[in-house]
Every structure is written in structure tokens, then in C-alpha cells.
Amino acid sequence: MPKTHFPQPHQNQRAVRLPFHNMAPAAIRFEDGRRGLGKLRTISLTGGLLRLSKPLVPGTLIEVIFMSNGGPVLGIAELLTPASATLKCLQPFKFIMIDDDNYQRLNSLIRSSVAIAKPAQHAVTSGQNLKSHGCNN
């Protein structure tokens, strides 16, 4: 019987984040059946950061779907408040439910990418330029 994960952040340890330098396309499905598109800027086992054409209402529940090397990853997520007015189209979300197969694909993607990028991590994160991430896709 498949297991379902309800990701919970650890109080003392931040989840490992995987940045997508060429933002990965993501499909979004709303509870009412509407669909939308975004681009993943960052992903972790507990959530991520989407670039959207316009900010969405915080608290909205969505299905987030994106492709990994191991196949599609799908999870139920809650949209959070955009971090600042200047980055209002970068909208964070937290996973509230993800089944075992999707969780394993996401975990494998993060583990393998972090293992490859670890030596260069400081150079990548210290040189990020947020000005190039406006609302227009």
C-alpha cells in the first residue's frame, strides 16, 4: 500500500533547497479545475518557490506538477505570501501532501543534484541576481 507524506519542516534544520538556474516549467491545477503555468525557481522536500505571471491568493491549495529526471513529481501545496513587494511574482509554497512515489522522485532529484553541486554551492548562491526575475514570463 503506497505511503503518503505530509512534509513538516524541522525546527532546527532547514530543508535542503535545490535552485533551478534555468527555472523548470511547472503546471498548476486549482481545486476548481482551473490550470495555470509557472516556473520553479527553487524546490525542497517541504516546498518551493514559483515564478508566476501574477501573484496568487496566499492560502490557496494547488497541485504542483513538474518533471524530474526520474519522472513527474506531483504534490498538493499551499501558496504562501510573496516574500516582498519587489519580488511579488516569486511566490513560495509549502507541500501539504505528497505520495510516496512522488516523494521518492523529489528526494532523488534533490540528493543527486546536491551531491553534484556541493563543491560549487557557495559560488552559485553568492552570485544570484534577483533583479532579472520580474513578473513577465
For residue 20, the model assigns a pLDDT of 75
pTM of the predicted protein model:
0.75
| Strand extents, DSSP E, the chain | 4-5, 18-30, 35-43, 47-51, 61-68, 71-79, 90-99
**Where exactly are the structural domains of the chain?**
16-108
For residue 131, the model assigns a pLDDT of 44
Q: From CA 25, how far away is CA 87, in angstroms rounded? A: 19
Mean pLDDT by runs of 10 across the 137 residues of the chain is 58 69 90 95 93 92 94 96 76 95 93 66 42 51
Is domain 16-108 annotated with CATH 3.40.50.300? Answer: no
For residue 23, the model assigns a pLDDT of 83
For residue 118, the model assigns a pLDDT of 56
| Helix, coil or strand: residue 134 | coil
For residue 49, the model assigns a pLDDT of 93
Q: From CA 46, how far away is CA 6, in angstroms rounded? A: 9
